[in-house]
Amino acid sequence: MNINELKNEDLQRKNVILFLAYALAAGLGLLVQIIIQQAVVVIISIGIPFVISVIMFIIARKSIYFARIFPYFVILAGAITAVSMSYFNEVSIATIVLALFILILSSLHSKQSIFVYGYILCVFAMILNVMWDDSGIFEGRTVNIFFIQFIMALGIFLQVRQSKNLFTKVEKLLEDAKVKSDEETFLH
């Protein structure tokens, strides 16, 4: 097994974990909204990204190209859900947690570009929550909520960066082992 095969296998494994995390949250959220007989627009705002994510996951299992863009898509689906819940329902603790959930989803691949993408979408969702807050949840707390979000993002970013460094070192060790193996084969 070469390094590219290892990377592709790791990508597929992380996609499964990401999909399970999102599908569990979205699926249960959709089920709860149906049970409590929430407005149809709220159910649709959860259901459409969920169904499209399931379809995208199936396609990503078959195509390495789609496997590479799958994390960006799922994080976008999570952001769409968070923003639409704020817009069509109301700003609440749940919509704030949904926005923070985007950070968690974006960290699962331990890749900086995916995390930064998720962080930007999380900040966007949080800003929209603040702008659409009619109930006063953010009243006098906006700075604290964004500070907590930033601290969470910083901690997750450091973890993502550490994982990247570890994987880079493992990749280097594999390359060195292959060079040594090739040298020994040549000498033999």
Using alpha carbons, select from 178, 28, 65, 167 the residue that is nearest to residue 111: 167
- Rounded to 5 degrees, what angle do the CA atoms 31, 36, 41 make? 75
Please determine, for residue 1, whether its predicted confidence score (pLDDT) is greater than 70. Answer: no
- Rounded to 5 degrees, what angle do the CA atoms 111, 115, 120 make? 155
Record the tokens describing residue 134, joined without a space.
Answer: 């009619």
Mean pLDDT, range 150-171, rounded to an integer: 84
Report which of residues 20 and 163 the model is more confident about.
20
- In the prediction, which pLDDT does 120 show? 95
Mean pLDDT, range 38-66, rounded to an integer: 92
- In the prediction, which pLDDT does 166 show? 82
